[in-house]
Amino acid sequence: MKMTTKNKWVMLLIALGLVGCVAVVVIACIVWFFGLGRAGVDGWMPVYSIEQTASAHPGFLRTTVKSGTSVFVSDYDEYALQLQGMEPKNAIGRGPIGGRMVFTINGQKPTDYLAVDEGSEMPAYGVYRNSQLPPFDWRHAKFQTMEYTAPMGPAAHKRTTDPALIEEVVSAMRDGTPIPSSSLASGSVSNLNGVWLFSDQLPGMIYYPKVYADPSGPVYLSESVVMVSANAKQWTEARWVPAGPLFTKWLQTP
């Protein structure tokens, strides 16, 4: 049977349609492969603005993220808060230029605390508090476990549940007499670590004050420390207090 001109045109249009469909699928796969498809997946998320100003505490910064009427802050009181465990997965907000930036914290209401990716090239998550809530009251919190974060030495990653030892650390920071931070400004970063304090009142997060173990023996505590330079050999505006005898001895024994 001889094909008519009309049939030829129909077959040509069908062929062109199939080619077009294949091309669309290929382009879509390429876009998804290079990560551009994420914009469509995350498109429903609200966009958060971010603003940074000087904190009322000299040397520290106050960072604010906003979306609509929701305002979350990271200030002096949040510097010592860290996420517990793995990096957050449940994204609920995007940054000003797109991309997942705001996450929920396991165990925390998303109306109370959020994790915000503050990193540039690599993820780095900070804890942000709802501006309508008071800061975490570490001074009167009940901590069940404490771990020293030094990666090396006799007390490396040493843990304790001793309530008297933990209370001594908290009371020293709360009630101790501060010494001038300039007297510690030349300390080596290799002697600067911290303690992770775990509390049932702080699910999904850790309270992380700093510890400076002077090679000559004394140990000092600070609720927050800001590094001055990239080589991390100096810090500023830290409120250092001498540690108590129980904690000092605990650090110096395996």
> Cβ distance 113 to 105 under 8 Å?
yes
Token pair recorded at residue 198: 């775990």
Q: What are phi and psi of 91, to 5 degrees?
A: -80, 135
pLDDT value at position 28? 46
Domain boundary residue, one of 114, 130, 146: 130
Q: Look at residues 99, 130, 161 and tell me which one is the last residue of a structural domain.
A: 130
Which residues, at least 6 apart from 38, have a Cβ–Cβ distance to it below 8 Å?
A: 99, 100
**pTM to 2 decimal places:** 0.78
What is the domain count for the chain? Answer: 2
226: nearest Cα among 183, 251, 192: 192
pLDDT at 191: 79
> Is 152 in the same domain as 243?
yes
**pLDDT one-digit tens code per residue, 182-210:** 566 555 566 789 999 999 999 999 999 99
Token pair belonging to 182: 């300039």
Domain boundary among 102, 130, 158: 130
245 and 199 belong to one structural domain: yes
The angle subtended at Cα 147 by Cα 235 and Cα 131, nearest 5°, is: 60
Q: Distances in Å between the alpha carbon of 157 and those of 138, 149, 170, 194, 250?
A: 21, 5, 19, 10, 12
What is the pLDDT, as a whole number, of residue 181? 62
Give the separation between CA 245 and CA 52, rounded to whole angstroms.
40
Q: Which of 247, 241, 246 is nearest to 176 (CA)?
A: 241
Q: Could you tell me the pLDDT band of residue 51, with boundaries at 50, 70 and 90? A: very high
